[in-house]
Amino acid sequence: MAPICAELDRRNMSYAICVTAQHREMMDQVLEFFEMEPDYDLDLMREDQSLNKLTSSIFTEIDAVFDDFKPDTVLVQGDTTTAAAIAMAAYYRKIKVGHIEAGLRTYNKDAPFPEEVNRQVISRIASYHFAPTKKAAFNLIEERIPEETILITGNTVVDALKISLEKVGTSTYSSEIISDLKSRLNPKNKLILVTGHRRENFGEGLKNICEALRKLANNDPVDIIYPVHLNPNVSVPVYSMLGNRPNIFLIQPVIYPDFIWLMKEADIIISDSGGIQEEAPSLNKPVLVTREFTERTEGVEEGFSFLVGTNKENIVLKTREILSKPRHNANVSNPYGDGKAAEHIISFLENQEL
C-alpha cells in the first residue's frame, strides 16, 4: 500500500492509514522505510491468536475509525483476514470498498487457507476491483463481477519493489546484518534464499521443506539464508532441524531493504510467498513455490516460478536443475506489472463518484 499512499500524497488527496499491528516488529520497519505513519493503530495482535478472535476484534474496533475519519472509500489489499474483515465491516456501513490485488484464484478453499476464501469474499463486497493481470480480471468476469468495475493495473508490490530498488541502490548497500552475512558467505557457493509462512504448510509440509534444505546443505556447494518467520509454528521446527549448520544462516526477519538485497544476490529463491512470486521476475530470479497450488500462474507459465509443493525430492531435484544452468540475463517483462499500478488505481478512483 505504500505506493498508493505516495500517489495520494502526490495528488494532495485526503486519506488515513489504519493498521492492525500484525507482526509489530516487521511492520514498524516497513513503515519507517517507506516513511509512513499510521493514523489509526488497532493493536489487535496477540500471541497464537485464533482467526475467529482476530476477526471479532477487527469488527469491534474498526467502527470507531469509520466514525472518526468518515471515509468515502476503504481500500484493502490482498487476501488477509484483516482485509476480508475490514471489507465486510465497511460493507455493513455502506462504505465503498476498493480491492487491490483482486481476482487471484486457486478455486481450492483450503489452498491457500484462509486466503482463498478471504479474497473471494472481498470480491462479492467490493465496488472497485483492481486486478493485477488479465487472468485475474477474467476470473472476476467469470464470477459475474460487473466489467466496468474492474481495472487491470498490475500489482502495487511491483511499484513498491521499484521504489525500494531506488532506495537500496547498488550492490555496495550494507547494514549490520548484511555486513555480517557478507563476511560469512562463501563466494564460491550458490546462494539460496528461503522464506515460509503459509498455514497449510505448518507441520509435515514444513518438516519436508527443512529436510530438503538440509540435504542440499550437506551435499551441494550452496549457502542457504533463511529469514525465519516469527510464528512459533515456523520458528520452532526450522531452528530445530536446520540450526548449527555452517552453510545455513537462520536469521531474524529482516527489514525490507535488507530483503531486497538478499533477493538481488540470490541465485534461487525457495518460498511460499505470493509477493515474492511477483517481485522475483523484476529481478530475473527463479522461484521454487513450496505450495501445491498457486493463484499466480502467470509466473509459472512464463518460466519464473516452479510449483514443487512440499515434496522434498521435488525441491532438491528442481533446485539442482536450476542452479546447474546459467540464468538468461536479458531484460525481462514482469507479468505482474510495470511499476505504475498505484498511478492507475488512483486515476480510476479520481474519476468515480465517491
* Residues forming the active site: 197
Whole-angstrom distance, CA of residue 143 vs CA of residue 136:
11
Bridge partners, 100 (sequence order):
77, 130
If one counts every other C-beta atom within 10 angstroms of the C-beta of residue 298, the result is 21
Q: What share of the chain is helix, strand, coil (3-state, %, to 5)?
A: 50, 15, 40
C-alpha closest to that of 277 among 255, 253, 249, 302: 302
**Using an 8 Å Cβ cutoff, are 139 and 105 in contact?**
yes
Phi/psi at 139 (5° precision): -55, -45
Whole-angstrom distance, CA of residue 86 vs CA of residue 54:
11
**Using an 8 Å Cβ cutoff, are 61 and 86 in contact?**
no
